[in-house]
Amino acid sequence: MAKSINRSIRIFVNGKEVEHSLNNVRREMNRLRREVNTLERGSEEYVKKSSELRKVTGYFREMRQEITGMPSMFERLSKNASGFVAILTGAFAITNITGKFRQLINLSAELSDKQSDVQKTTGMTKKEVRELTHELDKLNTRTSRIELLEIAVEGGRIGIAKDEIADFTAAMDKANVALGDVFGSASNVASVLGKLRFLYKETAEMGVSEAYNAIGSALNELGANGVANEQNIAAFATRVGALPDAFKPSIADALALGAAFEESGVEANVAGRSYSILIQTAATKTEEFAKVMGITKEEVTELINSNPTEFFLRFTNSFKGMETNGTKMANTLKELGVNAMGVNMIIGAASSNNDRFRETIELSNKSLEEGVSMTNEFNVKNEL
Give the domain ranges of the chain: 2-70, 74-256+367-382, 265-352
Higher pLDDT: 90 or 183? It is: 183
pLDDT on residue 74: 45
Distance between CA atoms of residues 286 and 304, nearest Å: 9
Confidence (pLDDT) at 382: 85
- Measured between alpha carbons, how far is residue 19 from residues 10, 28, 31, 227 in Å? 9, 12, 16, 12
Tell me the per-residue pLDDT of 226-252, one tens digit each, with 9 for 90 and over: 889 999 999 999 999 999 998 999 999
pLDDT of residue 21: 78
Residues 53 and 47: their CA atoms lie apart, in Å, by 10
Judged against a pLDDT cut of 70, whether residue 213 lies above it is answered with yes
- The pLDDT, as a whole number, for residue 345 is 94
SS (H, E, C) the chain: CHHHHHHHCCCEECCEECCCCHHHHHHHHHHHHHHHHHCCCCCHHHHHHHHHHHHHHHHHHHHHHHHHCCCCHHHHHHHCCHHHHHHHHHCCCHHHHHHHHHHHHHHHHHHHHHHHHHHHHHCCCHHHHHHHHHHHHCCCCCCCHHHHHHHHHHHHHCCCCHHHHHHHHHHHHHHHHHHHHHHCCHHHHHHHHHHHHHHCHHHHCCCHHHHHHHHHHHHHHHHHHCCCCHHHHHHHHHHHCCCCCCCCCCHHHHHHHHHHHHHCCCCHHHHHHHHHHHHHHHHHCHHHHHHHHCCCHHHHHHHHHHCHHHHHHHHHHCCCCCCCCHHHHHHHHHHHCCCCHHHHHHHHHHHHCHHHHHHHHHHHHHHHHHCCHHHHHHHHHHCC
pLDDT at 83: 52
* Residue 285 or residue 33, greater confidence: 285
Q: What phi and psi, each to the nearest 5 degrees, are found at residue 16? A: -110, 135
Can you give the pLDDT at residue 51?
Answer: 85
The amino acid that residue 355 corresponds to is D
Q: What is the pLDDT of residue 253?
A: 98
The pLDDT assigned to 357 comes to 97
Q: Average pLDDT for residues 272-281, to the nearest whole number?
A: 95
> In this prediction, what percent of the chain has a pLDDT beyond 90?
59
Average model confidence (pLDDT) for the chain?
A: 85
Position 300 scores a pLDDT of: 96
Average confidence (pLDDT) over 104-121 = 81
Is 90 exceeded by the pLDDT of residue 2?
no
Mean pLDDT (whole number) for 331-350 = 92
pLDDT over 90 at 119, yes or no: yes
pLDDT for the residue 40: 82
* pLDDT, position 73: 44
Which residue did the predictor score with more confidence, 53 or 376? 376
Model pLDDT, residue 71: 47
Tell me, what's the pLDDT at 80? 53
- Give me the mean pLDDT over the 152-177 stretch: 94
Residue 16 pLDDT > 60, yes or no? yes
Please state at what angle helix 208-225 crosses helix 251-263, rounded to 10 degrees. Answer: 20
Decide if pLDDT at 130 tops 90. Answer: yes
Residue-level pLDDT at 102: 57
Position 302 confidence tier, pLDDT thresholds 50, 70, 90? very high
Confidence label for 289 from pLDDT (cuts 50, 70 and 90): very high
pLDDT, position 37:
78
At 58-82, the pLDDT tens digits run 887 777 666 555 444 444 444 555 5
pLDDT tens, residue by residue, 185-207 = 888 999 999 999 999 999 999 99
Tell if the pTM clears 0.75, that is, is over it: no
In 3D space, the residue among 315, 313, 309, 324 whose CA is nearest the CA of residue 295 turns out to be 315
| Spatial separation of the C-alpha atoms in residues 315 and 112, rounded to whole Å | 56
User: What's residue 68's pLDDT?
Assistant: 52
Supply the pLDDT for residue 7: 46
Average pLDDT over residues 108-122: 89
Average pLDDT score over residue span 363-382: 93
